[in-house]
């Protein structure tokens, strides 16, 4: 297997074609893959119906592409929001089932109108709902926003639609939460004043749902029927994946000291009734660990070695593992991403190819605050040395 490094580099530097086609735009997620990276790698290293694993699948970019390319896929991520996004983005839904969305939208409209004291022509059922309990709730949300979100959440919960459709609607709700909260941005957890108008939440939610419907219809027509299994788990412990069951691994792990995935999605985690603590404690490489708690790079290497041992176990002998890693700065010292991965991989894998490019050109560098002229991103192709 030979990687066309020049072609891949060109795709990355020009960002390929669009990066938001089909279901890729369903949900914001820091440091998403440019879809063209997994497309290129999956095509190079696998055949149809083989199994691709992404053990840090995040919002599921590589899983979407594996299914489009008729490969089976397994995704693992610690983050409940990433796992929900991955499932929804890779699940086909029939037009008949999608048409049930109308009921949920109508229920939400009726109940939100009632909340604002507006009389409606088409009475629907009145639902009773509760605002979720979490610390500093009023600091993060305007009163009207809390009620609109809670009404929509309850209408989804009480609707008689399938689990797949409920997941899609919950993902639509999740996708708008940061925008309607007082959180400054997707990768900055600080409160600012916003002026979210009456029914703005409802309108954003409806627009998001309608866009998702069109896209999932197209995805359902274009994607193969190969199975995608997504697990919410810590990749240091993936005993549920069988030995020698994977043909190719493609992933982009958390870069050390670069993001806090648990923090950026904290408000979403509250609204969707997931557990923040579980994600925070087990997140590898978080800024919380390396900047606030001052852990050195050693703890990252230790955690990632545990992951790589598992990856070698599940991957067939001599098969390939492609990994995208960025340079990072810990305690003021620059650490090169390729050196770091080679050190972690040494016991189980040999390097067969690598390329690098400047982070300034890459859309993967989501937060401009982390841009650094000297930082590069590296793609390494490793071969499983296991006998």
* Contacts to ligand SAM by CB under 6 A: 29, 31-33, 56, 58-59, 61, 76-79, 82, 234-236, 252-254, 261, 282-284
Least distance from C-beta 207 to ligand SAM, angstroms?
23
- Give the Cβ contact number of residue 129 at 10 Å: 17
Angle (CA) 256-76-42 rounded to 5° is: 90
Separation between Cα atoms, residue 42 and residue 111, nearest integer Å: 47
By beta-carbon proximity to ligand SAM, the closer residue of 149 and 340 is 340
Tokens of 264: 């950026």
- In the bound complex, what is the minimum distance in angstroms from residue 227's beta carbon to ligand SAM? 20
CA distances to 30, 40, 186, 292, 323 from 149, rounded to whole Å, are 23, 40, 18, 32, 38
Residue with Cβ nearer ligand SAM (199 or 361): 361
> Shortest Cβ distance from residue 130 to ligand SAM (Å)?
29
Q: How far is the CB of 95 from ligand SAM (least distance, A)?
A: 28
User: Using an 8 Å Cβ cutoff, are 3 and 44 in contact?
Assistant: yes
Nearer to ligand SAM, 19 or 224 (CB): 19
**Shortest Å distance, C-beta 294 to ligand SAM:** 19
Q: Computed from CA positions of residues 349, 354, 357, 363, in that sequence, does the dihedral angle turn out positive or negative?
A: negative
Residues 352/379, Cβ–Cβ less than 8 Å: no
Handedness of CA 318, 319, 324, 328 (dihedral sign): negative
Q: With respect to ligand SAM, which residue has the nearer C-beta, 145 or 322?
A: 322
CB 275 within 8 A of CB 77: no
Is the separation of the CB atoms in 14 and 208 below 8 Å?
no
Return the number of the residue (59 or 181) whose C-beta is nearest ligand SAM. Answer: 59
Quick one: CA dihedral 16, 18, 19, 24, positive or negative?
negative
Query: How near is the Cβ of 284 to ligand SAM at its closest, in Å?
Result: 4
Shortest distance in whole angstroms from residue 300 CB to ligand SAM: 10
Integer Cα distance of 293 and 298 in angstroms: 13
Query: Which of 58/337 has CB closer to ligand SAM?
Result: 58
- Please say which residue, 141 or 274, places its beta carbon nearer to ligand SAM: 274
Q: Smallest gap, in angstroms, from Cβ of residue 29 to ligand SAM?
A: 5
Q: Which residue is nearest to ligand SAM (CB)?
A: 58
Q: Which is nearer to ligand SAM, 28 or 109 (CB)?
A: 28
Q: Which of 286, 277, 351 is nearest to 56 (CA)?
A: 286
CA atoms of 188 and 196, how far apart (whole Å): 19
């Amino acid at each position: 297997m030979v990687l066309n490094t020049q072609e891949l580099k060109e795709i990355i530097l020009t960002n390929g074609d669009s990066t938001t086609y089909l279901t890729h735009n369903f949900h914001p997620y820091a440091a998403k893959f440019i879809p063209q990276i997994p497309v290129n790698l999956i095509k190079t290293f696998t055949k149809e119906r083989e199994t691709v694993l992404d053990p840090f699948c995040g919002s599921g970019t590589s899983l979407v592409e594996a299914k489009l390319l008729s490969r089976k896929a397994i995704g693992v991520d610690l983050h409940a929001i990433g796992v929900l996004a991955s499932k929804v983005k890779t699940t086909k839904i029939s037009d008949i089932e999608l048409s049930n969305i109308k009921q949920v939208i109508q229920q939400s409209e009726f109940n939100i109108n009632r909340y604002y004291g507006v009389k409606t022509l088409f009475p629907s059922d009145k639902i009773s709902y509760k605002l979720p309990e979490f610390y500093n709730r009023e600091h993060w949300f305007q009163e009207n926003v809390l009620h609109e979100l809670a009404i929509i959440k309850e209408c989804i919960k009480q609707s008689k639609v399938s689990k797949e459709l409920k997941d899609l609607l919950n993902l639509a709700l999740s996708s708008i939460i940061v925008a309607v909260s007082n959180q400054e941005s997707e990768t900055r957890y600080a409160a600012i004043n916003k002026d979210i108008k009456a029914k703005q939440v409802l309108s954003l939610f409806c627009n998001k749902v309608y866009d998702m419907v069109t896209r999932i219809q197209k995805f359902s027509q274009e994607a193969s029927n190969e199975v995608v299994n997504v697990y919410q788990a810590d990749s240091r412990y993936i005993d549920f994946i069988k030995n020698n069951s994977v043909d190719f691994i493609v992933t982009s792990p958390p870069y050390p000291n670069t993001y806090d995935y648990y923090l950026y999605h904290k408000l979403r985690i509250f609204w969707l009734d997931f557990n923040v603590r579980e994600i925070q404690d087990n997140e590898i490489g978080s800024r919380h660990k390396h900047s606030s708690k001052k852990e050195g790079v050693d703890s990252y290497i230790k955690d990632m070695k545990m992951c790589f041992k598992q990856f070698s176990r599940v991957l067939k002998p001599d098969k390939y593992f492609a990994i995208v890693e960025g340079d990072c700065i810990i305690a003021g010292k620059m650490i090169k991403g390729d050196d770091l991965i080679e050190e972690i991989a040494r016991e189980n894998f040999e390097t067969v190819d690598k390329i690098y490019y400047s982070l300034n050109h890459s859309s993967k560098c989501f937060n401009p605050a982390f841009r650094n002229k000297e930082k590069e991103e590296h793609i390494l192709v490793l071969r499983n040395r296991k006998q």
